[in-house]
Structure 1
Amino acid sequence: MTTPNSALRATRMGLLMSQDDFARALREAGRRAGEPNDASKRLVQRWEAGTSVSPRPAYARALETVTGLPIETLGFIPAVPQARVSDDGRGGLDLGDSSTGTGTTRGTPTAQPVPRGNYSGVWLSRYEYVSSSRGRQVFTGLHYVVILQHAGRLTIRSLPGSSDSPLTMDLTVDGNVVTGTWVEQTAEDGHYRGARYHGAIQLLAEPTGRRLTGKWVGFGTEMDVNTGPWDLIFQDASTNKATLDAYNHRP
């Protein structure tokens, strides 16, 4: 059985790209880098369906260029040759070419936390932080984000028009407890001059499943560890392009 690559799909949708648009951007990135590739809508579909799990190096570099994220964060397995037992009845070892997504083996599945509900959709992300460089004023960060859920994993990407500071989160659901990490790349022309911040987060789901409330922890500009409240508030269960376009603005 294959596992859909929800991380890649969430990233593409967060960029407001169709599969055709995404393939076109990959070809253009390869051309600019002097590594032409033949990315197509069909290839993107195979990646997102999980039938191809390790893109060739040229495709991996194009993916990282287009998304700004490392290949592992995009839900892929690094492309390295792996040995597997041949299933042709001869009992020998066969070196599969993981760069084409064939010949790879999957380890024994580990138990996944059972999610309480389905959180896929558009949500409003709201957190508060104290700015030590601005007289310890309290500021609020707002983003519209897309959540895609697969089993007990949530991948979250902000819509590009909702903020100048892209936000990503990778979370795990265990009952009504949601735990994981966050990354925010601040705006180049903003107060923090393009600094990249990251940390951990833990949230509790309200009984309705339409609000996640908790706290974040992360480092500050003075290299201290800070914390503050963080809420995710449900907006719409749809993740189609029309819905994403409707929310692609500042909250």
Structure 2
Amino acid sequence: MSVMNAPNTALRTIRIGMRMSQDDFARALQAAGHRVGEPNDANKRLVQRWESGAIAAPRPVYARALEVVTGLPISLLGFASVPGSQVADDKHGGHDLTSPMSSLATPTPTPRPTTVHQSYEGVWLSRYQYYSSGRGDSFAGQHFVVVLQHGDRLTARSLPGSAASSLSMDLTVDGSVITGTWVEQTDPGGYYRGARYHGAVQLLAEPTGRRMAGKWVGFGKDMDVNTGPWELIFRDASTSKATLDRYNTSAT
């Protein structure tokens, strides 16, 4: 007799928090697969089956896309098991834990070649400086962020307890040069009253792999373009729930 898994409320909560419908989420997963060179056939029905608990674990190709879209490790996305623990060895990346007649089959992915050797995955302290013209002074923004890596792509997402604002970064690695974009949703009760800011960032990774430093660029409240220093300092290589819980505290 088969056992029905409990609904995946964690994944549903994360999706809703991203203000995405199930269709939107599926399209984002498809786009993420194309970006990392692993196309997938994510659709609304698949998202529904994950959230209902009908599928206990996503295929590895979907697990990687889920991490890219959410910026969180698969172990935190509420699945009853994680890829690799209960999958058949079909030489093509495993199967979803569902019936053999599933219509959600995915073509064998063809990963794009990459020359990335350094791993940046783990917990980092993100720290940037900015000048507030309204207050006439300089300030620092600090967050603990979890960095996930898929080939030459990095995603960084702030831990919610590390700051009143939320921060995300989507980056590409080219040797020691790391380039991408950032988005910050400011504290609704703070000086900027929940305003959303975004811009670009370029960092240089030190040979030790323990620090990235560079500059950000972004717009101000008067639509002027500002810039300032930004650094990420390595803290822990683990992205386990226990590790993230330990760093889910104020970074100041």
Alignment TM-score, normalising by the size of structure 2 = 0.63
CA distance in 1, matches of 2:194, 2:230: 22
What is the CA-CA distance between 1:115 and the residue it aligns to? 2.1
CA distance in 1, matches of 2:56, 2:250: 29
Indicate how the Cα distance of structure 1 residues 224 and 151 shifts in structure 2: closer, same or farther if over 3 A, else same. Answer: same
What is the CA-CA distance between 1:207 and the residue it aligns to? 1.3
Indicate how the Cα distance of structure 1 residues 225 and 45 shifts in structure 2: closer, same or farther if over 3 A, else same. Answer: farther
User: 1:225 maps to which residue?
Assistant: 225
Counterpart amino acid of residue 196 in structure 2: R
User: 1:120 maps to which residue?
Assistant: 121
User: 1:167 maps to which residue?
Assistant: 167
CA distance in 1, matches of 2:15, 2:204: 42
Structure 1 unaligned spans of 5+: 1-18, 56-63, 68-99
User: 2:61 maps to which residue?
Assistant: 50
Q: Which aligned segments of 4 or more residues in structure 1 are displaced greater than 3 angstroms?
A: 23-29, 40-45, 51-55, 100-106, 108-112
User: 1:149 maps to which residue?
Assistant: 149
User: 2:212 maps to which residue?
Assistant: 212
| 2:202 pairs with 1:202 | yes
Indicate how the Cα distance of structure 1 residues 196 and 27 shifts in structure 2: closer, same or farther if over 3 A, else same. Answer: closer
User: 1:245 maps to which residue?
Assistant: 245
| 2:26 pairs with 1:25 | no
What is the CA-CA distance between 1:21 and the residue it aligns to? 4.6
Counterpart amino acid of residue 50 in structure 1: V
CA distance in 2, matches of 1:177, 1:167: 21
Indicate how the Cα distance of structure 1 residues 168 and 134 shifts in structure 2: closer, same or farther if over 3 A, else same. Answer: same
What is the CA-CA distance between 1:23 and the residue it aligns to? 3.9
Would the aligned equivalents of 2:64 and 2:150 in 1 still touch at CA under 8 Å?
no
What is the CA-CA distance between 1:150 and the residue it aligns to? 1.1
Structure 2 unaligned spans of 5+: 1-6, 22-43, 71-102
Alignment TM-score, normalising by the size of structure 1 = 0.63
* Superposed CA offset, 1:144-168 (max 9, x none): 0000111111011000000111100
Counterpart amino acid of residue 174 in structure 2: D
* Superposed CA offset, 1:129-179 (max 9, x none): 0001112x1000000000011111101100000011110001011111101
Counterpart amino acid of residue 61 in structure 2: G
Indicate how the Cα distance of structure 1 residues 44 and 176 shifts in structure 2: closer, same or farther if over 3 A, else same. Answer: farther
CA distance in 1, matches of 2:8, 2:247: 22
* Superposed CA offset, 1:177-220 (max 9, x none): 10100000011111111111000000001111100000000001
* Superposed CA offset, 1:58-77 (max 9, x none): xxxxxx9xx7xxxxxxxxxx
CA distance in 2, matches of 1:202, 1:132: 24
Would the aligned equivalents of 1:148 and 1:155 in 2 still touch at CA under 8 Å?
yes
* Superposed CA offset, 1:33-91 (max 9, x none): 9x9x55145647316x2248999xxxxxxxx9xx7xxxxxxxxxxxxxxxxxxxxxxxx
Over the aligned positions, Cα root-mean-square deviation in angstroms equals 3.3
CA distance in 1, matches of 2:15, 2:177: 40
| Residue-pair matches, total | 183
Q: SS state of the match for residue 191, structure 1?
A: coil
Counterpart amino acid of residue 45 in structure 1: A
Indicate how the Cα distance of structure 1 residues 248 and 128 shifts in structure 2: closer, same or farther if over 3 A, else same. Answer: same
Would the aligned equivalents of 1:122 and 1:236 in 2 still touch at CA under 8 Å?
yes
Would the aligned equivalents of 1:128 and 1:230 in 2 still touch at CA under 8 Å?
yes
